[in-house]
Amino acid sequence: MERIPILKMGDFLLVTIQVDLYDQLAENLETDLVNSVKKYESKGVLIDISSVSIIDSFMGRILGNIGMMSKIMGAESVIVGMQPAVAITLVELGLTLTGVSTALNVEKGMDLLRSKIELSDTQSDDDDDYYDDTE
Amino acid sequence: MMMMTTTTIQNREEFVVVREQDVIPFRNKVKDAAVKIGMGILNQTKLITAASELARNLLKYGGGGMVSIESVNNGRENGIRLVFSDKGPGIADIDLAMRDGYSSGKSLGLGLPGTKRLVNEFNIQSAIGQGTTVTIIKWKNG
């Protein structure tokens, strides 16, 4: 069966999506990623979508699922390399990819992952959000 | 929106979408047609994304169907017209189905209105028990 390769690099997992995902392939990727996070005790997942030319609501849901599943497993995730035309189309379609962290390229994505992990290591409590209460 | 100027068809191809595996080859066919008329990358992306959404609707709600991929001209400009037709249960309330945030299925509920925003012309016709036909046009520079 066709599968998207998942590479382990230190504390991180790297996934480069270079083909159009059809339903079965996308579902396999979700399962494989969650299993790999557990197996390698990964702290972060980086997904490169620079070769993806189309993101429809199905694909958007898969990306959201991956973010949520990683989070539940205790790993941060970042999606990098979105094509400008894809970003414009997503917004017009109404898909906002809430809950998904993004970065411009792999390098910036790695920096973001590292900073997120450092943050979650130093702050174990949940109430790290500060709201100004002045009305 | 409903006012359609005389549109001539220059090329026409039929594509059957009955399984989820048909969606990607279908998208590639749409892309080929868009490239052939010289459509830019942004409009291509919008058209193919809209085509993908409608093809999934065809499978999910219509039980599969036919898509006609046409290169058209309205006298000023070339474009791609896609006609999705199924013989499914039909849509009871089209106005409701076209409302943002509404979905009867498990998806995100931005299918039809979201898709409409991506194209230049969008027409939907449905009869209960007979099926649904969705027609979209994306002009080359639209």
Predicted local distance difference test score (pLDDT) of residue A67: 92
The answer to whether A89 contacts B45, with C-beta atoms less than 8 Å apart, is yes
Instruction: Reduce the DSSP state of residue A1 to 3 states and report it.
Output: coil
pLDDT at B109 > cutoff 60: no
The C-alpha angle with vertex A28 and arms to A22 and A33, in degrees rounded to 5, equals 125
Among B45, B56, B118, beta carbon nearest to A58: B56
Predicted local distance difference test score (pLDDT) of residue A50: 95
pLDDT at A105 > cutoff 70: yes
- Average pLDDT of span B110-119: 86
- pTM of this prediction? 0.86
In this prediction, does ipTM exceed 0.90? Answer: no
Instruction: Reduce the DSSP state of residue B116 to 3 states and report it.
Output: helix
In the numeric block, which tokens belong to residue A56? 């429809």
Which range is least confidently modeled, A94-103, A114-123, B21-30?
Answer: A114-123
Residues of B in contact with A82 (CB under 8 A): none
| Mean of the per-residue pLDDT values of chain B | 89
Higher pLDDT: A31 or B103? It is A31
Tell me the nearest-neighbour CA distance from A93 into chain B, angstroms.
Answer: 4
| B37-71 per-position pLDDT tens digit | 999 999 999 999 999 999 999 998 899 999 999 99
Contact of B135 with chain A, judged by CB distance below 8 Å, is answered with: no
Tell me the nearest-neighbour CA distance from A18 into chain B, angstroms.
Answer: 14
In the numeric block, which tokens belong to residue B127? 């009869």
Predicted local distance difference test score (pLDDT) of residue A37: 96
Spatial distance between the Cα atoms of B67 and B69, rounded to a whole number of angstroms: 6
Strand spans (E) along A25-108: 44-48, 76-80, 101-103
- Average pLDDT of span A67-88: 95
The answer to whether B100 contacts A60, with C-beta atoms less than 8 Å apart, is no
Contact of A58 with chain B, judged by CB distance below 8 Å, is answered with: yes
What chain A residue is nearest to B56 in terms of C-alpha separation?
A58
The pairing of strands B131-139 and A6-9 is unpaired
pLDDT at B105 > cutoff 70: no
